[in-house]
Structure 1
Amino acid sequence: MAQASKEPCKKEACDIQACLSKNNFLPQKCLKVIELLDSCCAKCDYNSTHCASLSGLLKPKPKPKR
């Protein structure tokens, strides 16, 4: 069985880096792309190395208990 060659959420993480670079590393100016990464990470159950960077950008949201 072949492994997926692409890391989930890589594009979104790169978009955040580009936005932060353009905006003097002020996360509040990049909320839209940060939210896109958060959404991507939620879709893949945070099973991506790129989702670790969210901890410093967003306050953790409590996960609903099932």
Structure 2
Amino acid sequence: MAQPSKEPCKKEACNIQACLTKNNFLPQRCQKVIELLQSCCEKCNYSSTHCASVSGLLKNIGM
């Protein structure tokens, strides 16, 4: 049986970084992947270190 990841939202955080790099670091263009990280953080009760930055990203896209 697979062990749960110690960093449950790492994949989503990496996807945001890739999206921001590809889109000239404009968070508005990465809203969907930011929302996926937000959803992941909610599911794991913000227990991932990758969730610390999600609130700042949400402010940048006006959520």
Q: Same fold (TM over 0.5)?
A: yes
Identity, in percent, stands at: 81
The root-mean-square deviation of aligned C-alpha atoms, in Å, is 1.8
- Quick one: which amino acid aligns to residue 54 of structure 2? L
Q: Indicate the structure with greater helix content.
A: 2
In structure 2, the residue corresponding to 1:41 is in which secondary structure? helix
Higher Cα Rg: structure 1 or 2? 1
Q: Distance in 2 between matches of 1:51 and 1:40?
A: 9
Q: Give the ranges of 4+ consecutive aligned residues of structure 1 lying more than 2 Å apart after TM superposition.
A: 3-6
- 1:42, 1:5 → 2: CA distance? 16
**5+ residue gaps, structure 1:** 62-66
Count of equivalent residues: 58
Find the aligned partners of 2:52 and 2:12 in 1 and give their Cα distance. Answer: 13
Unpaired runs of 5+ in structure 2?
none
